[in-house]
Chains A and B, each alone.
Chain A
């Protein structure tokens, strides 16, 4: 069974000058455990596609199924169950600035906790949760930073906390929206290794701005352009011509 099955999905949002088609008739299948890179110029609709995949947006038209269940037919509670099985890493992770790294990591568990436990965890978390969060922070290399407020951490450290939060969430699917775009090259390599470590054995869909990194690390590459799927091929078949046509307009504008 597929994890994701998109059939002719449209997404429209209200822009200042009328409705904007972010996605047009997008069809895509993702199998369990598959690693897929999304490539394309900025504004092509990659972020919108990821927000549809993590079930925080609804398609305007078409069908979006997660493990065979049409997401538009789910209740709020069922949607939350789906969401807690999908971990998302955003380009600029928005941690809660006044909470500590440990508390931000614990946020990954919210989807499993009831109201009482989440209230208690905010004030005095259970020792087993603290231990699990500590392990997650160790894994991402933030040993000793558990008590630091999120807004005192560097950009790279915040991205690590976001990964630790995903570890706490222990999802079946990991989505990432240009996770390294705002990091310097050395950090990118470190964090990429970490992220691929974390996503081993899980389904992983990532929007990538670094084409070389995408081609090296992902077996399957999907090109998105102007809200449509331009190509969907194994990484080995991505030719320079294909890439040029994908980024063509951008190149012309830049030149």
Chain B
């Protein structure tokens, strides 16, 4: 009955959102046709390829510099936010609770709150604020990534430090080691391989994120896409999107290889401090030099040389002062109800589109359903089945490899500015992500019950309905809710590029110089995201914990970053 209630509530929410969102679906077929004609062939002229190359270099620079900043920030914050170091557990239990301990405990709690704030505000919003403060260019992009990704890394670091096997920690403490000595000798060595792995994963997410920061003027490949769109140079747009996809795939592959090595080392019990075991120790110095050189190039690409320019920091300080105090007047707050509602609607409608399209594409993409070779093929031959499988997998990969914000630009062409473009864009990207997750969940369902139904004469579709779906549905619901949470974050920013909702209000107020209002909006986004996290947690926990294992730290990162984990 709980399930029926949940389904009814979801349907009701969707209907209310569709009716109340002010999204009027209308397709501009002509504009879409012009786009389709313009896209081919992609612009591969040497001059433009040079532009693409420079944009990629700058994007990677932004991502790398942003990650470096977020480590510098996130590591101390993560240590401070670790409960077992400052607030509870064996290290603190015997301590006399003096003024210093109290202050540290309070600071630790405050740090957790700060980290939550840093990661709840979307990176694109940070980028917009930094662009206003520092001017156009890659520098605000790197700073924005540094801030938002520090919020994620700090939290994950704290979780990793908290989760190390406690025996060595307790032993060292009992031998009289101080808290920081315990950290250095017992906690860090145990957590280091995972810390390295998650940091790399975070770099991967930053590359994805860096590519779209350009939409608000923070440089990189997104800026070029935006520019080419505005100039109706659709051939260039296609080249840029393809280049972006290649960059993302290459980063994924590289990061997965490196991460695999760290994780293997974690299993083998070797620590990062002593150097990973596999063919690494001898070349360690070279690697360090390589990373330093790479970092230097990254910071140069991200425009950090300009930070010393006279007046720049002063300019930013002046802007930051204008953000306070936030405008909390009744009239302004009242005017925010509509965009707030629109944002929620965009996320709900977008997720619904994603479920429908992704679900439809997931069925042909499920190998165990389509490519089962044990029975003679039905009315579809084997070749047709294989084609459907490959085609749907390819389509899903395409849908999810293009970020939501790029989809917004494309959707604006088809349906015009406004919330519907935002919802459609989120829906298309979500379809790619959910479709893949759905297909993989269905493929991984325990086989024995499915096989028993096959033995009793059930068809493929009957096996899907009666054995695969019942076994998968809890996991599918969990993924979908997690995705909705992510989509709510995204729906607060689709407005920055013309997709309606809170993002649009934020963009307008920033453009008009109403910075006190902008900071109110940032607070509102923070509140909205926090409430959703809490809500989704409440719904998800009883549902998911019944069957699936609790989300891994990697899923926490994914959930916290609002960036698709699925490549």
Q: In the complex, how many residues of chain B place their beta carbon closer than 8 angstroms to a beta carbon of chain A?
A: 27
Whether A84 lies near B457 (C-beta < 8 A) is yes
Q: Per-residue 0/1 for A123-150: is the Cβ within 8 Å of any B Cβ (1 yes, 0 no)?
A: 0000000000000000000000000000
Residue A20 at the chain B interface, CB threshold 8 Å: no
**A79 in complex: contacting residue of B376, B461, B462, B474, CB < 8 Å:** B376
Identity of the chain A residue whose Cβ is nearest the Cβ of B376 in the assembled complex: A76
Across the interface, which residues of B come within 8 angstroms of A14, CB to CB?
none
Query: If A56-B451, A95-B449, A110-B466 touch, does A75 touch B458 (CB 8 Å cutoff)?
Result: no
Chain A interface size, as a band, is: 35 or more
Q: Which of A98, A99, A113 has the most chain B CB atoms closer than 10 A to its own CB?
A: A98
Given contacts A96-B470, A96-B471, contact A75 B452 (CB under 8 A): no
Q: In the complex, are the beta carbons of B448 and A110 less than 8 A apart?
A: no
- Among the listed A58, A94, A118, A165, which residue makes an inter-chain contact with B451, where contact means beta carbons less than 8 Å apart? A94
A111 touches B456 (CB 8 A): yes
Cα–Cα distance between A103 and B453 once the two chains are bound (Å): 12
- Give every chain B residue within 8 A of A95 (Cβ-Cβ): 449, 452
Q: Which residue of B lies closest to A111 (CB)?
A: B457
A119 contacts which chain B residues (CB < 8 A)?
465
Q: Chain B residues near A85 (CB, 8 Å)?
A: 457
Query: A87 is contacted by which of B453, B456, B459 (Cβ under 8 Å)?
Result: B456
Residue on B nearest A168 in the bound complex, by CB: B456
| Cα(A119)–Cα(B474), bound, Å | 19
A115 at the interface (CB under 8 A from B): yes
**Docked CA distance A88–B457 (Å):** 11
- Kindly state the separation between the CA atoms of A118 and B452 in the bound complex, as whole angstroms: 16
Contacts of A229 in B (CB 8 A): none
Interface check B425, CB cutoff 8 A: no
B290 to chain A, nearest CB (A): 40
16 contacts between A and B (CB under 8 A): A55-B455, A56-B451, A75-B376, A80-B459, A83-B455, A85-B457, A87-B456, A88-B455, A94-B448, A94-B449, A94-B451, A96-B470, A97-B449, A103-B470, A107-B456, A108-B456
5 extra interchain contacts, Cβ-Cβ under 8 A, other than A56-B374, A118-B466?
A: A84-B456, A87-B456, A88-B455, A97-B449, A99-B470
Residues in chain A near residue B453, CB distance under 8 A = 107, 110
Q: Among B374, B456, B461, point to the contact of A88 (Cβ < 8 A).
A: B456
CB distance from B519 to the nearest CB of A (A): 48
- Taking CB atoms, residues of chain A closer than 8 Å to B474 are 98
A110 touches B456 (CB 8 A): yes
With a cutoff of 8 Å between Cβ atoms, the chain B residues found around residue A76 in the complex are 375-378
Given A98-B473, A107-B466, A118-B462, verify A54-B455 contact (CB < 8 Å): yes
Docked CA distance A20–B477 (Å): 41
| Chain B residues whose C-beta falls within 8 Å of the C-beta of A81 in the assembled complex | 457
- The residues of A that contact B547 with a CB separation of less than 8 Å are 98
Residues in A whose Cβ lies below 8 Å from that of B374: 56-58
Contact B446 A94 (CB under 8 A): yes
Contacts of B458 in A (CB 8 A): 80, 107, 110-111, 118
Query: Which residues of B are found within 8 Å of A58, using beta-carbon distances?
Result: 374
CB neighbours of A115 from chain B (8 A): 459, 461-462
Residue from A79, A96, A111 in contact with B375 in the complex, judged by beta carbons closer than 8 Å? A79
Say whether A169 faces chain B, with CB atoms less than 8 Å apart: yes
**B467 interface residue, CB < 8 Å from A?**
yes
A107 CA / B454 CA spacing, docked (Å)? 10
| Contacts of B359-385 to chain A: CB distance below 8 A | 374-378
Residue pair A80, B446 in contact (C-beta under 8 Å):
no
Q: Identify which of B378, B456, B461, B462 contacts A165 (C-beta below 8 A).
A: B456
Question: Which residues of B (465-481) have their CB < 8 Å from a CB of A?
Answer: 465-467, 470-471, 473-474
Among B378, B453, B457, B470, residue most surrounded by chain A Cβ atoms (within 10 Å): B457
Residues of A within 8 A of B456 (CB): 83-84, 87-88, 107-108, 110-111, 165, 169
What's the least CB distance linking A20 to chain B, in Å?
18
- In angstroms, Cα B449 to Cα A90, docked, is 10
